[in-house]
Amino acid sequence: MLDVAALRDALALELPHYMVPTAFVQLKALPLTPNGKLDRKALPAPEGEAFVRRMYEAPVGEIEQMLASIWSELLKIEKVGRHDNFFELGGHSLLATQVISKLRKALELELPLRAMFESPTVEALAAHAAGEQAQPLELLPIVAVSRQEALALSFAQERLWFLDQFEGQSAIYNIPVSLRLQGTLDTQALQRTLNELVRRHESLRTTFDSLDGFRGN
């Protein structure tokens, strides 16, 4: 029987963490195409025994239990112990951001994404969340401001404005969409729909003008 934990630990001594495989599947032979190349589509999907599973110990405390539940949901694993490693169970950076997001909503705490990599077990991350490094989440209220004066651009808007000034007029950020409609088109209903969309969504009515050589909207 392949010792997945031992194999992963040995590779971790030689490779950076992002190059260490999450799962290991033992095969008698690699499936090949008629051309003699690896048939990737014929490779079996990793199952439970392909991942590292530490000796199970039930989560302790509210935060550990919450984390175990979140990991179980995201990783599609029935039971997660307090010593299980998120990345050894098949987690990756995109799923890690979801863990942080769910914790933010549940506990109103702001944890940096690096906390998932520095404290990848349920026990360690729970201790991190309960420690001094976790910052209380302070959400500022969204307040409507006057539209009588120019508004400052967001960082994303400012970046695109700069690129547009640098490159000139370009359709590179346009997203073309083609729709095929069947039946009789009610042009008046379509016009009312488009008007309502523009009325409802301010971003569709936003323009960007240069003010004294600078930008505003």
User: What domains, with CATH codes, occur in the chain?
Assistant: 62-136 (1.10.1200.10), 144-216 (no CATH)
Position 193: which residue type?
Answer: T
Q: Note the pLDDT of residue 43.
A: 79
The whole-number pLDDT of residue 132 equals 52
pLDDT at 217: 53
Residue bearing tokens 């934990």: 5
- Provide the pLDDT for residue 52: 59
Cβ–Cβ under 8 Å, residues 84 and 94 = no
pLDDT of residue 98: 92
Residues of the chain falling short of pLDDT 70:
1-2, 4, 17-18, 22, 46-55, 132-139, 212-217
137-145: Cβ within 8 A, 24+ apart: 137/104, 137/108, 137/109, 137/110
Q: What is the pLDDT of residue 69?
A: 93
Indicate the angle between helix axes 61-75 and 122-130, nearest 10 degrees: 130
Looking at residue 144, its pLDDT comes to 81
pLDDT recorded at residue 133: 52
> What pLDDT, on a 0 to 100 scale, did the predictor assign at position 93?
83
Q: Give residue 189's pLDDT.
A: 94
pLDDT at 196: 97
